[in-house]
Structures are given as structure tokens and as C-alpha cells.
Structure 1
Amino acid sequence: MTVGFIGLGIMGSPMAVHLVDAGHDVIGFDVVPASLSAFAEAGGTAAANVAETVTQAEVVITMLPDHPHVESVVFGEDGVLANAKDGLLLIDMSTIRPESSLAIAEAAKAKGVRVLDAPVSGGEAGAKNAALSIMVGGEEADFNAAKPLFDLLGKTVVHVGPHGAGQVVKAANQLVVGGTYALVAEAIVLLEASGVDARTGLDVLAGGLAASRILDLKRETMVARQFAPGFRIDLHHKDMGIALAAARQADVSLPVTGLVAQLIAAARAMGHGSLDHSALLKVTEQLSSRG
């Protein structure tokens, strides 16, 4: 299959390489020249622009930071819809607003382009290990057509509903992840302030009802104050905005989500936006004058 892949960043690059390794002809594009060079060295084909990526492709995957980037790539003069073959399958794996996914699907339908919104969870490690959780919105037939590609990228692949549903599930994912990080951070501060070894304490928590993937993957680095980004605070800040907007759209109250969104906003305001979202620990420490 000929696949166009737009967005070769921390997540997109290993995802695109998995497709190359599986034998697909992958044409990649990114605005960062070094990312294009690395992709070419890994066996992919580097394109000069979006149009060149799309014209030869049967499937186009986008993995971009936010809805303005996706909308620019899809709707632009030299973008996806302007250059797509009839019947192209466009899979947006970015995390964006549900309403943007709906608008893209509607515009694409008029051009004979099929669309799935398929945001992912699992961070850089999940992308590198092809162990992502992929939540997919769109037509079931299009999901079935894309499933062989999804299976090369993730371990949990679920069709969750119509267009936009994937983004709603991702918003729910991000509010749970943010809330868990906030509570693990508070647990570390409490343990250390009480004279208890935090590493030992978290080992016990990870074996009981408080167990979580975050404790499994991040307790060691959080206790060691190692915050190299797997998923940046800046991006989680954007995602919490999506979650709050979705709550307003659905006319529901999510008070804990609002608080967690403010803690993430505080981390960003403190200058930690480029750090991993586990750096919420730095906010909790600051609030207790222990940072």
C-alpha cells in the first residue's frame, strides 16, 4: 500500500517507520528537515511538500500538534483535499477538537475522500513499541479498511463511533491521565514530607487498587525528578482545553477536570511546557514550598 504520512515528530516518526518496516511504500513529509532526513535514512521516501505526499497515496495519515495544523494541511491550496485521488482514505491521528474532525469529514465527503479520526494514547514509548491505544471515529467500512495499518501501530484498536467520537474518547483519556499524574505527584509529596521513602511507597501502591499504567511506567522517573518529554506539558495543556470544550458542548460539569486543567496551565506558566506531563510534580512541590 502507498501511504502518505504527514508529521514526523516524536510520535509520527516511529509510527511511519513501523509502516515502512512492514513493507508499505511510505511517503513522508515534515516541516523540520532533520525529521525528513531521518525518515529517509530509515527507508521511507521524503516528500518536498504536502501535495507531493498526497498525489501518489492510497491512504494519508496526519500526526500533527493541533487543529490549526491539521486544518491547514487538509484545507490548504496545496493540501490533502486539493490533491487527493477519488476514494483516498484520510486518517487523522492527531489529537484535535471533535468539531474540527466533523468539519474535515464533511468537507472530505464532498471531494470523494473517506475520513477517520484516530487519535492515539501511549506517548513516545507506545509509538516506538507499536503499542499505542487507537480510538477511531468514522464509518465502520473505512475502519475495517484501515485496521491492518492500525494493527502495525497499536495493541488496542477500537472503533468507538461516528466521526468525532475518537476525539471525544481521547479527551476522556487525557483528563484521566492528567488527573492520575496530579494524584501521583501529591502522593510523592506526601510520602517524602512524612519521611517515607517515596520509591518504596509507590511500589506498594503499584501492587494494589491504586495500580495504573502511569505508576508502572513513570514512578521511577518521577521520584528521580527526570522529566524528559515523552508527552509535553504544552500538548497536555492543549488537550485539557479540548476536554473542557467537549464538556461544554455536551452540557456536563467536570469539576475535577477543571482543576487538573488549571494545574497543567500552572506548569506551563512556570516555564515547564517543554517537560513531560509528569512534571506536574513540580507544581505540587511549589504549592507546598518543597520545590
Structure 2
Amino acid sequence: MNAKTIGYVGLGIMGLPMAKNLLDAGYPVVGHNRSREPVDELVEYGGDGAGTPREAAAKADVVITCLPDSETVEEVVLGDDGVAAGLNDGEAVIDMSTISPPVAEEVANRLAEQDVHFMDAPVSGGESGAVEGTLSIMIGGDEDVVDDHDDVFETLGETITHCGEPGTGQITKACNQLVVSGMIEVLAEGLVFAHQAGADPATVYDAISGGSCRGFVMDHHGSHMVEGDHEPGFYASYMYKDLSYAIEAAQEYGAPVPTAAVTHELYKSTVESGHGQEKNTAVIKVLENMVGGVDVASGD
């Protein structure tokens, strides 16, 4: 059994499989979630449960949070009965949520006041990457502290990059989301174009996925759009949220992101039209509606 006890706060679509991977690797894990069902599943798998973030932190040597947005991270880490209240000097928090870079920096500064280390470590790879332990992890934090927790990161991910000081992990993830969302959206445009032009979208997809377009987005997301499979591995609403943070940060840092602004609006429409809890590929439905409600997957 590994020496570090890990408190895991946020046992959602990504967090629960990551916590299970830690248990499989021999780490004692104490989990907390706002709803009880995932905690019960973790306990059944061999972990322990905690009633509050503070309790999870008090029982742990390092706390991992995996939460939906900036506001929740601030509340869960810094609020009453939050993670910070259960930590001792020299312990660490690894936030694997995707949040605003300035918020990550603020949380790091607040925890530093009580001599607690903070690493922002957002991930890419979706639910399948969380389950398989093959995530890409982008880490902002003190280099020595990151090195001290390499064992944890290597249990959860395959591509692990130390990006710099606290906040740089979130900046890197924002760049990732700008690129990935744009690729998904323009792939959706191509498939709708093929349908409208009378070509078979599946045949077009097969042809272009073997050429210069090949890659994870084409293989993973493109096939789902062709098949009409939008079961969530990563919610469209989360992509909309991530793009909101990325655009807000780009404005603060003076970076032009014109294409991302358009993609952001299309994801906003995806959410507002009732598809936010579907996979981020559901953005194709907005484009389908623009041309009369066609269905690329069925050919109608």
C-alpha cells in the first residue's frame, strides 16, 4: 500500500474513475461528493467516505479536487467546512478541475498563506482517459512539489507536463480547449456540408480521417458525429464553460481569439437548445438546425 492517503473531492464522470485508479494503485482514498451515490460506490470499491471536504482533507496527506467550475472550486477549497480548513502545513492540494487561470492563482495565493501547496492540474482525454489512466495532465505549481507528487500523476495520466508556476496549468488547458473545440466544430461543418452537397458523410469522414486530418479529434469525435452518438464523455455544457474561461482570460492577457469567439457562441446555442448534457460533439446539431433540421447520421 502506498504511504500517501489521498482525499478526493468531486466524484463525477471524471473524478470517480480517477479515484478508483488510485485505489487500484494501492493508495488509501477518502472521497467526498455533494451527492452521496458516488461516495457509496467508492466505498464499495474499497475507499472511505467523508461527509464534508474538510473531513476528507483532515484524513488525507494530499487532496485532489475535480469540480465543475471556478465558483465551486473556491467554495469547496476555501469556504466553510472546505478543504483548506482540514489541511496542515506542508500538505498539498491538486486541483484537476478546469477553471479560470486567475482563480487558480488566487486559490494558490490563499493556500500559501497557511503554508499549503497548490497545483492546478487540469486534464484532457475525457471519460475514457480517466477510466484507462491515460489522461494528459497540465500542471502549474512549484517544481519540487510537483516532483514530490509524480507518483500520483503517473497513476492518473500518460502525458504529464509541468507548465510552470500556479495558474499555468489552467492557461495550458485553456489553449487546449480553444484548439479542440475549434476542431470539433469545423469537423461538424464539414459533415453538414457533405450532407447538403449530396455526398455520404460517413464516406467523406472515412476519406479525410486517413489523410492530413487524422488525429484524436477525428478518430474519437468524428466517428461519434457520423454515428449520431452523443452520449456524454465530456458534456457540451462543460466545453461552453471552458471556452468562457478561455475567452475571459484571453481578454485579460490581451490575446486575440476570434475563431474561439464564434465557436463559443455555437456551444452557447448547443446548451440553450437543450443539448448541454450531451457530448461536446452535439454542437453539430446547431449546424443541422441551421439548414432545416437535417440529421447527418441518418442521412435525413
State the TM-score bracket (shorter-chain normalisation).
over 0.9
Residue number in structure 2 paired with 1:72:
75
Q: Which of residues 271, 274, 278 is equivalent to 2:277?
A: 274
Superposed displacement of residue 89, structure 1:
0.9
Structure 2 residue 169 is matched with structure 1 residue 166: yes
Superposed displacement of residue 220, structure 1:
2.4
Superposed displacement of residue 212, structure 1:
2.3
Residue number in structure 2 paired with 1:128:
131
Q: Which of residues 144, 147, 152 is equivalent to 1:149?
A: 152
Q: Which of residues 120, 124, 127 is equivalent to 1:117?
A: 120
1:19-30 to 2 correspondences below 5 Å:
19-30=22-33
Q: Which of residues 198, 201, 214 is equivalent to 1:198?
A: 201
Residue number in structure 2 paired with 1:210:
213
Contact 1:230-1:276 within 8 A present in 2 as well: yes
Residue number in structure 1 paired with 2:266:
263
Contact 1:199-1:219 within 8 A present in 2 as well: no
Q: Which of residues 174, 178, 188 is equivalent to 1:175?
A: 178
Q: Which of residues 64, 73, 88 is equivalent to 1:61?
A: 64
AA matched with 1:279:
A
Residue number in structure 1 paired with 2:47:
44
Superposed displacement of residue 263, structure 1:
0.5
Contact 2:56-2:86 within 8 A present in 1 as well: no
AA matched with 2:262:
L
Deviates more, 1:258-267 or 1:42-51: 42-51
Deviations 1:208-244 (A, max 9, x none): 1111211111222211211111111111111111111
Helix, strand or coil at the partner of 1:134: strand
Superposed displacement of residue 80, structure 1:
1.5
Residue number in structure 1 paired with 2:298:
none
Q: Give the Cα separation in 1 of the matches to 2:63 and 2:216.
A: 31
> What is the alpha-carbon root mean square deviation over aligned residues?
1.0
Aligned length: 291
Superposed displacement of residue 150, structure 1:
0.6
Deviations 1:231-283 (A, max 9, x none): 11111111111111111111121110100000101111111111111001101
Q: Which runs of 4+ in 1 moved over 6 A?
A: none
Q: Which of residues 91, 99, 104 is equivalent to 2:102?
A: 99
Q: Give the Cα separation in 2 of the matches to 1:242 and 1:68.
A: 12
1:1-12 to 2 correspondences below 5 Å:
1-12=4-15
TM-score, normalised via structure 1 length? 0.98
Q: Give the Cα separation in 2 of the matches to 1:252 and 1:72.
A: 29
Q: Give the Cα separation in 2 of the matches to 1:104 and 1:9.
A: 22
Deviations 1:82-133 (A, max 9, x none): 1201111100000001111111111111101011000000111110111100
Structure 2 residue 142 is matched with structure 1 residue 139: yes
Q: Give the Cα separation in 2 of the matches to 1:50 and 1:80.
A: 5
Residue number in structure 1 paired with 2:297:
none
Structure 2 residue 87 is matched with structure 1 residue 87: no
Q: Give the Cα separation in 2 of the matches to 1:149 and 1:9.
A: 19
Helix, strand or coil at the partner of 1:90: strand
1:217-232 to 2 correspondences below 5 Å:
217-232=220-235
AA matched with 2:66:
M
Helix, strand or coil at the partner of 2:277: coil
Contact 2:239-2:267 within 8 A present in 1 as well: yes
Deviations 1:120-177 (A, max 9, x none): 0011111011110000001101110111111111110000111100001111111111
Helix, strand or coil at the partner of 1:270: helix
Superposed displacement of residue 70, structure 1:
0.7
TM-score, normalised via structure 2 length? 0.95
AA matched with 1:170:
K
Helix, strand or coil at the partner of 2:149: helix
Helix, strand or coil at the partner of 1:163: coil
